[in-house]
Structure 1
């Protein structure tokens, strides 16, 4: 399965840049698709309302995986799973 990873960001967010740089090689090694969405410029205005005060947020297969910090080992394990990520229980 090819997982989709979405990084929710905001212009001028230094943490967002740091997490993006962290995600690029992890997604490349896992063969995951990485997409970056600026919540302030997204077509879905609800993204800015829902996530705006706790960026960066990483979604995997549309479900929230992590916020502010990314644990490399945790993300690698998620991306190695053959099932879609449904979020943490």
Structure 2
């Protein structure tokens, strides 16, 4: 079973867009997902600070800045 992680931060408009796409796709496909604030970890902030939102599928970076619904669905198929 797949798992999606959204790395972002509060107040990020691109993160809000990504959250909507991820929630919709995850719900339709029965996939679990979580959201992590990159500011909760210095390591995450240093690695992804200018790339948010970042989408991980099964712990592997899948997208950043924008989430393509088609690409996400393909990765989860």
How many residues in Structure 1 have an aligned counterpart in Structure 2?
77
- Could you list the runs of 5+ residues in structure 1 that have no partner in the other structure? 81-89
Task: Look up the match of 1:40.
Answer: 39
Alignment match, 2:74? 77
Runs of 4+ in 1 over 3 A off after TM superposition: none
> How far apart, CA to CA, are the structure 2 residues paired with 1:74 and 1:46?
27
Q: What residue ranges of structure 2 are gaps of 5+ in the alignment?
A: none
Normalised TM-score (structure 1): 0.81
Q: Which has the higher helix share?
A: 2
Q: Which has the larger radius of gyration?
A: 1
Aligned counterpart for 2:54 among listed residues 49, 54, 57:
57
Q: Deviation per CA, 1:17-74, whole angstroms, max 9, x where unpaired?
A: 11101110101111111100000024xx200100011100000000000001111111
